[in-house]
Every structure is written in C-alpha cells, then in structure tokens.
C-alpha cells in the first residue's frame, strides 16, 4: 500500500493536473521529455531519465503498473512497488513532474477503447503474452495524450515493445520522437529488470545464463557460424539441466520486421525469454554483419 506521506510536491496523480502542467510547458515553448515506467526504478530507468534531462527542457516520469498489459496468470499483484524510493531517486535527478495516477483515474468505469498494432506483435513476447502489447499501446497512447511529450524514452531491453511503439507513433501520426536507449547491465552482464527483485541468490546466478548465451552466440557468429538453428541449439544447451528454468523462446530475426531468419545475414536480432524461478526474464542483442 502507498502511504500518503510518500507523496511529495512533484507527484501528480490527476490527469487534469498533469495536462495543466504539460500545457504550461508547451505555452512557455519548453520541450518535454517523457519516461513511462511501472516504477521500482533501477539504473536502466534512471538512464532513460538522464537521457531525457539532457535532451529536453522538462522531464516527466510516469509510474503506473498498468493492469491491462498483464495476462490473467501473470504477476500483476506481486509486481514490485517501491514508490517512496522511486520518488527519492527521481527527485534527486531533478525531474520536473512524476505522474502517478491510480487505476480508476486511468481506467474509469466504462473505459472501452484499445489501440492495437498488428503484424509484429504476433512474434516473441506477443506470442507468449497475447494481452501484453495491446495493453502497452493503449496505456502509452493515453500517457502521450496526457503528457504531450516532444520526446519519449524507452529501453532496448524491451526491443519488441520499442518497435511496437514506433509503429503506433508512425501509424497514428503522433508527433513524439521515440528515443531508443541501450540496455543497462549489472557488471556481470545481467540486464537490469524490476523482475530481478524476485530472484533468490541462486536464481540470480542462473539468470546470468541469458546474457552469457547472447555473448556465446556472438562469439560463435564471429567465428563464422551462420546457421540460426545451430546458434539457437548452442544457446539452448546453456539452459539444459538448470533447475527451475524454462526457456519461453530463443528467436533470431530481422530487428524491424521480426521475420525469423535461418541464416545470420545483415543486421540481426537475437532475443530470448526465459523463466527463472518466479521471474520471466528477457534479453537481446543486435548482431551487425561481420
């Protein structure tokens, strides 16, 4: 539960007030950068925020655990919430507003509109989590309409999400510039994720196999392997015999169209999703032509 004491001046919970703030930025000819998050902020999020602070006159961060992007058996209820910490981190960086609406503010009774990108959402995470991207595009469009940013910042860890949002922005003729920010990793390679919090020390160790499998794939490709099937088999081997580990997908494809590739030729995305204990983790890398 959120304590009222956690809420400080920079936190805005009403849509009307957030719109007033963003309108006032626009009227002063100040550019607005926007970082949408589900809270529980880590260095990956903070890197997005720093990018926004550098690029734009004003920066707005939203914290909203969006229920419509979780499936019925997913982790909506247990998704980590750390509002007080989040606010402290964001205020320390100097963000101008933190938009923290409750569910009723974003989805009042009778809310019945969805935004959907077809095509690229049928692969990867969209295949495993059919509700995910419809929920993401709907809430991101709502947030864009409320915050009216000139720039928005998303991390490349969610590579497919970025592509889906870029498609929505283009198809719906939105004026926001989408900025891609590289994956932030722990020193040992683990990609930062709020869901890393679920991991026990042992599971944390096991989770390293995601980034390691990507590193090995890159080495193998550098050594001349071009068959996607062989690469995927080597990657999959790393997860064999690991307790409590379940590979959802390992996929090699075009980074824009997400069409599967049989041969590593041209710019290629290698992406994987693996359940480690209670956490479904994702990671990816881009292989440029060697």
Using CB under 8 A, list all residues that contact a copy of itself: 15, 19, 110-120, 137, 141-142, 145-146, 167-168, 171-175
Distance of alpha carbon 71 from alpha carbon 245, whole angstroms: 20
Six-digit token pair at 219?
């080495």
3-state secondary structure of 182: coil
Q: How far is the CB of 94 from a copy of itself (least distance, A)?
A: 26
> Closest CB to a copy of itself among 18 and 190?
18
C-alpha dihedral sign at 224, 229, 232, 234: negative
Residues facing 252 on adjacent strands: 270
> Closest CB to a copy of itself among 29 and 73?
29
> Closest CB to a copy of itself among 141 and 214?
141
Q: What DSSP string runs through 46-96?
A: HHHHHHHHHH-SEEEEEE---GGGS-TTSSTTTS---HHHHHHHHHHHT-S
> Closest CB to a copy of itself among 103 and 172?
172
Residue carrying the six token digits 């794939």: 217
**86 vs 77, 95, 138, CA distance in Å?**
18, 12, 24
Residue 244's H or E segment, with its range, is none
> Closest CB to a copy of itself among 111 and 180?
111
Q: How far is the CB of 119 from a copy of itself (least distance, A)?
A: 4
Given the residues 42, 45, 111, 151, select the one marked as catalytic.
Answer: 45
Q: How far is the CB of 106 from a copy of itself (least distance, A)?
A: 9
Q: How far is the CB of 285 from a copy of itself (least distance, A)?
A: 25
Closest CA to 11 of 69, 84, 68, 71: 84
Q: How far is the CB of 66 from a copy of itself (least distance, A)?
A: 14
111 is catalytic: no
Would you name the residues annotated as active-site residues?
Answer: 45
């Amino acid at each position: 539960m959120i304590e009222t004491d956690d809420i400080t001046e920079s936190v805005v919970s009403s849509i009307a007030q957030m719109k007033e703030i963003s309108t006032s930025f626009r009227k002063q000819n100040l550019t607005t950068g926007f970082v949408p998050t589900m809270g529980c902020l880590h260095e990956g999020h903070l890197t997005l925020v720093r990018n926004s602070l550098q690029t734009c006159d004003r920066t707005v961060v939203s914290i909203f655990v969006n229920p419509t992007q979780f499936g019925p058996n997913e982790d909506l209820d247990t998704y980590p919430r750390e509002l007080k910490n989040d606010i402290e981190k964001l205020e320390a960086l100097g963000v101008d507003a933190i938009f923290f609406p409750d569910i009723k503010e974003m989805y009042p009774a009778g809310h019945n509109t969805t935004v959907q990108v077809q095509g690229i959402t049928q692969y990867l995470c969209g295949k495993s989590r059919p509700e995910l991207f419809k929920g993401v595009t709907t809430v991101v469009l709502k947030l864009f309409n409320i915050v009216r940013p000139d720039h928005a910042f998303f991390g490349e860890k969610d590579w497919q999400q970025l592509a889906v949002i870029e498609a929505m922005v283009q198809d719906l003729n939105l004026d926001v510039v989408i900025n891609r920010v590289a994956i932030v990793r722990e020193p040992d390679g683990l990609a930062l994720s709020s869901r890393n919090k679920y991991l026990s020390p042992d599971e944390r160790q096991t989770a390293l196999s995601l980034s390691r499998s990507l590193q090995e794939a890159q080495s193998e490709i550098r050594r001349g392997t071009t068959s996607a099937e062989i690469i995927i088999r080597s990657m999959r081997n790393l997860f064999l015999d690991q307790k409590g580990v379940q590979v959802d997908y390992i996929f090699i494809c075009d980074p824009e169209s997400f069409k599967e590739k049989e041969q590593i030729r041209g710019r290629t995305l290698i992406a994987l999703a693996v359940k480690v204990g209670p956490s479904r983790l994702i990671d990816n890398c881009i292989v440029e032509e060697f």
